[in-house]
Amino acid sequence: MNTRRNFLKNITVSALALPLLSTYKSTGLEGISTSLYQGPVLRVAIMGLGSYGTRVAEAMQSCKRAKLVGVISGTPSKVSDWQKKYNIPEKNCYNYDNFDLIKDNPDIDAVYVITPNSLHHDQVIRVAKAGKHAICEKPMGINAKEAQEMIDACKQANVKLLVGYRMHFEANTLEIIRMRKAGDFGKIMFFQGLCGFRIGDPTQWRLNKQLAGGGSMMDIGIYAINGARYLIGEEPIWVTAQETKTDHVKFKEGVDETIQFQLGFPSGAVASCLSTYNMNYLDRFFLNGEKGFAELNPSTGYGPIKGRTNKGELNIPHVTHQTVQMEEMAGIILDGKSPVVPVDGEEALKDSKIIDAIYLATKTNQKVPLKI
Which of the listed residues 114, 138, 166 is the one where a domain comes to its end?
A: 166
Q: How far apart are CA 22 and CA 276, in angstroms?
A: 37
Q: Is the pTM of this model over 0.85?
A: yes
Q: What CATH number is given to the structural domain containing 80?
A: 3.40.50.720
Kindly report the length of the chain.
372
Asked whether residue 8 is assigned to any structural domain, the reply reads no
Q: CA nearest 223: which of 367, 46, 7?
A: 7
Looking at residue 37, its pLDDT comes to 86
Position 6 pLDDT exceeds 70: no
Amino acid at the residue 11: I
The helix (H) or strand (E) run that includes residue 133 is strand 133-136
Amino acid identity of 162? L
Q: How confident is the model at residue 8 (pLDDT cuts 50, 70, 90)?
A: very low
Angle at 338 between CA 166 and CA 358, to 5 degrees: 50
What is the separation of C-alpha 358 from the centre of its chain, rounded to a whole number of angstroms? 19
Residue 186 lies in a domain: yes
Residue pLDDT, tens place only, 261-300: 999 999 999 999 999 999 999 999 999 999 999 999 999 9
Same domain, 208 and 298: yes
- If asked whether residues 221 and 138 sit together in one domain, one would say no
Res 21 pLDDT > 80: no
For 136-176, give the DSSP string: EPSSSSSSHHHHHHHHHHHHHHT--EEE--GGGG-HHHHHH
As a whole number of angstroms, the distance between CA 118 and CA 140 comes to 9
263 — phi, psi (to 5°)? -120, 140
Q: What pLDDT sits at residue 38? A: 86
Query: Looking at the structure, do residues 233 and 142 belong to the same domain, yes or no?
Result: no
What angle separates helix 171-181 from helix 222-232, to the nearest 10 degrees?
40
β-strands 368-369, 238-244 pairing: antiparallel
71-127 residue pLDDT tens: 999 999 999 999 999 999 999 999 999 999 999 999 999 999 999 999 999 999 999
Neighbours of 61 (CB within 10 A): 12
* Residue 293 domain flag: yes
3-state secondary structure (DSSP) of residue 43? strand
Distance CA 108, CA 92 (A): 8
**Average pLDDT score over the chain:** 92
Confidence label for 35 from pLDDT (cuts 50, 70 and 90): low
Residues 197 and 257 in one domain: yes
Q: Are 80 and 33 in the same domain? A: yes
The one catalytic residue in 132, 138, 160, 306 is 138
Backbone angles phi, psi at 222, to 5 degrees: -60, -25
Residue 286 is assigned to a structural domain of this protein:
yes
Same domain, 115 and 90: yes
Q: List the catalytic residue out of 94, 223, 230, 302.
A: 223
Please choose, from the candidates 111, 113, 368, the residue with its C-alpha nearest in 3D space to the C-alpha of residue 261.
368
pLDDT of residue 22: 32
Q: Is residue 325 part of a domain?
A: no
Instruction: Look up 223 and say whether it is catalytic.
Output: yes
In a domain, 176, yes or no: no
Q: Largest Cα–Cα distance of the chain, in whole Å?
A: 59
Task: Note whether 93 and 77 are within 8 A (CB).
Answer: no
- With 80 as the cut, is the pLDDT of residue 28 above it? no
Residues 29 and 138 in one domain: yes
Helix (H) or strand (E) holding 318: none
What's 250's domain CATH number?
A: 3.30.360.10
Q: Assess if residue 43 is contained within a domain.
A: yes
* 188-231 pLDDT tens trace: 999 999 999 999 999 999 999 999 999 999 999 999 999 999 99
What range does the domain containing 117 cover? Answer: 18-166
Phi, then psi, of 127 in degrees rounded to 5: -60, -45
Task: Tell me: do 27 and 162 sit in the same domain.
Answer: yes
Query: What whole-number percentage of the chain has pLDDT above 70?
Result: 91
Q: What amino acid is encoded at 230 in this protein?
A: Y
Nearby residues of 92 by Cβ (< 8 Å), 6 or more positions away: 45, 69, 70, 71, 105, 107, 108
Structural domain total, the chain: 2
Q: Is the peptide bond before 89 cis (omega within 30 degrees of 0)?
A: no
Confidence at residue 32, expressed as pLDDT on a 0 to 100 scale? 53
Same domain, 285 and 363: yes
Asked whether residue 96 falls in the same domain as residue 234, the answer is: no
Q: What is the pLDDT of residue 220?
A: 98
> Do 201 and 58 lie in a common domain?
no
Reported as half-sphere exposure (CB side, CA atoms, 13 A), residue 67 has a value of 17
R_g of the chain computed on alpha carbons: 20
Q: Are 159 and 187 in contact (CB under 8 A)?
A: no
For residues 96 and 217, membership in a common domain is answered with: no
Strand ranges for 143-299 from DSSP E: 161-163, 188-196, 238-244, 258-264, 270-276, 282-289, 293-296
User: What pLDDT score does 155 carry?
Assistant: 98
Look at residue 1 in the predicted model and tell me its pLDDT.
40
359 is catalytic: no
